[in-house]
Amino acid sequence: KAGVTQTPRYLIKTRGQQVTLSCSPISGHRSVSWYQQTPGQGLQFLFEYFSETQRNKGNFPGRFSGRQFSNSRSEMNVSTLELGDSALYLCASSFGSGLAPSTDTQYFGPGTRLTVL
Amino acid sequence: AQSVTQLGSHVSVSEGALVLLRCNYSSSVPPYLFWYVQYPNQGLQLLLKYTSAATLVKGINGFEAEFKKSETSFHLTKPSAHMSDAAEYFCAVTFTGGFKTIFGAGTRLFVKA
């Protein structure tokens, strides 16, 4: 079974631009979560989607948004990029029981490393 | 506030020595607890998880963790470290009432020959 894939793996942007990152979950998984990983802040939860609905959101500004498609693939968008947005963005998928809290194992992709110049 | 604390950002052990990575959480209700490992330039991989069944949880690669409600802890151990265990380890918690997982700051494990 193929794992979680994220594209692109590396991205370089300049301040003020916007970026879209893509995540394809494991086949059959309906829940997708996004995380930002930086040396200073560690792993920070961005948002979680299940069956095209955002169920929870972390403490990030509105410049960070996401969506999920009917095939469970997910995208996240960051508008008006800032230097501080440079990070490794990780996507994780899980089966998704639809109940809270989820005990499902999350499977992580390799991440997209975003550098903002 | 709900939080996860990993004591020690860096831990160094000799090959063959005991590995102990500490994790404490703050919650009045026992959450679900996880340990993940991250190797350089890779995503996270689940080592083990506690979901209110047995308090001693065995995971992959010889790791195990014990849930202690009275201490609000979920420390990760391995009896004998191997060079291949060198990586960053994250404790994570899913609290009741939400669909999000909170990660600790991570502990980087160094294994000396």
Contact between residue A113 and residue A11 where contact means Cβ atoms under 8 Å apart: yes
CB nearest to B98's CB, from A44, A100, A111:
A100
Q: Is B67 exposed, middle or buried (0-12, 13-18, 19+ CB in 10 A)?
A: buried
- State the average pLDDT over residues B18-40: 89
Residue B85 confidence (pLDDT):
96
DSSP string, B15-48: TTS-EEEEEEEE-SS--EEEEEEE-TTS-EEEEE
- Name the strands in the sheet holding B19-26, side by side, starting at the edge strand that comes first in the sequence: B3-7, B19-26, B73-78, B64-68, B56-58
pLDDT tens digits, A9-29: 999 999 999 999 999 999 999
CB nearest to B49's CB, from A58, A90, A105:
A105
pLDDT tens digits, B32-72: 899 999 998 788 999 999 887 788 999 999 999 999 988 99
Residue A101 has pLDDT above 60, yes or no: no
Residue A46 has pLDDT above 90, yes or no: yes
Share of chain B above pLDDT 70, in %: 95
Mean pLDDT of chain A: 92
CB nearest to B95's CB, from A92, A101, A105:
A101
Torsion of the alpha carbons at B78, B81, B82 and B86, rounded to the nearest 10: 90
Report the residue of chain B nearest A56, measured CA to CA: B99
B64: alpha, beta or left, given left = phi > 0 and alpha = psi -120 to 50? beta
**Structural tokens at position B45:** 């991989």
8 Å CB contact of A92 and B44 = yes
- State the average pLDDT over residues A21-43: 93
Substitution target from B48, B89, B94, B100 for chain A, most A beta carbons within 10 A: B100
